[in-house]
Amino acid sequence: MEQVNVTLTETISVLLDEKKYTTLRDILVTMKPYDIAAVFEELKDEKVPILFRILPKELAAETFVEMDDETPRLLIPGFSDSELKEVVDELFVDDAVDLIEEMPANVVKRILRQADKDTRKQINELLKYPEDSAGSIMTTEFIVLRPDMTAEMAIKRIRRTGVDKETIYTCYITDDNNKLIGTTTVKDLLLSDDDEFVKDIMEENVISVKTLDDQEEVAHTLSNYNFLALPVVDIENRLVGIVTVDDAIDVIQEETTEDIEKMAAVLPSDKPYMKTSVFGIYKKRIPWLLVLMLSATFTSTIISSFEDALSSMIVLSAFIPMLMDAGGNAGSQSSVSVIRAISLDEVEFKSMFKVLWKELRVSILCGVTLAAANFVKLIIFDLHGNENAFWIALVVSLALIGTVIIAKLIGSSLPLLASKIGFDPAVMASPLITTLSDALSLMIYFALATSILNL
């Protein structure tokens, strides 16, 4: 994909310079909105509006939806009110809302002024829902059927009203109070006899979400049940919107990126990496770096308090990094496995002890393996010719076992505890656990050293 867009962008920008507008239009209409949007991102700013005016109306709107935040910012100020109206009219309400949320206030005013009364009402409704809620990602355009329609009438209704609905494939059946009583699909309607009643075709046991449910939960429900769309209802079970599978996928991708960022001690960002400013990235990264640096005070205090032991056998300090890294790696292996399992609904707090018991056995296996390998390595290489070689190797290897066990137990339990008390498990990942296991492993190390090597 990428590769193609690049060369294409170059061709397009040349054609723009040569004002070959008909040729450009011919090229653009053969392209998918997603690829056209990619071209816009690569195009020089001043060329963006010119190219956009060449697009046929509907394609222009579809492309608009696929654009990153920047491109519309370039375009809209240059729009005449009528041009703006054309785009807004073509947009699905939920896309219009996404667009508006990215725009400065004065632009938002202009957009709302251009939208027809009904659309404006819907947009304002959607803007009320908190970010990351089902309401904020749902669309209010969907097919509603009545229970006493026949399959034939239903299909007729769909053919009449379907044109500006984001999806027609899942249809929703509501009673006279607009309460959701069932769902059906175009497939079921097409495969039933014309005179069958919707109420006999429809699935009555409906899975739905509430407007304030978390978008991540919504996305998981939708993907777990392999739905194409999920109905969103208010507290009175009145149907207010639907979330479509394409939006669900976007949510899954966003939320995963956030989890991964948190695991790496980066504050979650809503912008793609390449589009975030240097200072923007700095602000996302420095807080955790500071916290973790300050928390390293523990480790330095511990080491200082064993200065005498160390100075009497300075070689001990050579193995501190190895011990700490082993602990950090072992811990993050466990924490990351558990965090991912939590976010895929595979583990909950109630299975805490199952997890701990699993991790304890794994950590003993890992610890002993590492210790054995390490012991041999120390005797043969690092401590070659040192008269205390055996005893030092023993201390380091025992400390290694202790470190791995502790690191894995902390790494697996902290995320579960976090999820229990309503914190985000992802924050309990590597860095935090490293700092904790560092301190503990050093204490074990020095305790063993002082007793076994009687320093």
Q: Which residues within the stretch 146-165 sit at the binding site for its own copies (CB under 8 A)?
A: 155, 158-159, 162-163
Q: Given candidates 86, 89, 196, 250, which one binds its own copies under the rule CB under 8 A?
A: 250
Q: Which of residues 185 and 211 has its CB atom nearest to its own copies in the complex?
A: 185
Alpha-carbon distances, residue 123 vs 96, 130, 233, 363 (angstroms): 7, 14, 17, 54
451's tokens: 């007793």
Note whether 224 binds its own copies by CB under 8 A.
Answer: yes
Of the listed pieces 20-28, 77-85, 103-111, 321-329, which binds its own copies according to CB under 8 A? 321-329
d(CA 404, CA 312) in angstroms, rounded, equals 27
Of the listed pieces 86-94, 134-142, 233-241, 245-253, which binds its own copies according to CB under 8 A? 245-253
Give, as ranges, the residues between 184 and 213 that touch its own copies (CB under 8 A): 186-187, 190-191, 205, 207
Of the listed pieces 11-19, 99-107, 114-122, 268-276, which binds its own copies according to CB under 8 A? 268-276
Q: Which of residues 179 and 187 has its CB atom nearest to its own copies in the complex?
A: 187
Residues contacting its own copies: total by CB under 8 A: 116
Q: Given candidates 321, 387, 421, 422, which one binds its own copies under the rule CB under 8 A?
A: 321
Q: Given candidates 4, 14, 293, 380, which one binds its own copies under the rule CB under 8 A?
A: 293
Q: Given candidates 15, 108, 181, 315, which one binds its own copies under the rule CB under 8 A?
A: 315
> How open is the CA angle 402-407-409, to the nearest 5 degrees?
100
Q: Which of residues 91 and 322 has its CB atom nearest to its own copies in the complex?
A: 322
Give, as ranges, the residues between 55 and 114 that touch its own copies (CB under 8 A): none
> How open is the CA angle 322-327-331, to the nearest 5 degrees?
150
> Are 161 and 222 a contacting pair, CB within 8 Å?
no
Note whether 4 binds its own copies by CB under 8 A.
Answer: no
148's tokens: 């006493």
Q: Given candidates 438, 444, 445, 449, which one binds its own copies under the rule CB under 8 A?
A: 438
Burial classification of residue 273, based on how many CB atoms lie within 10 Å of its CB (0-12 exposed, 13-18 middle, 19 or more buried):
exposed
Nearest to 157 by CA among 192, 200, 201, 189: 189
Of the listed pieces 50-58, 73-81, 126-134, 271-279, which binds its own copies according to CB under 8 A? 271-279
Pairing of strands 229-233, 239-244: antiparallel
Q: Given candidates 141, 382, 391, 452, which one binds its own copies under the rule CB under 8 A?
A: 382
The enclosing H or E element of 401 equals helix 389-420
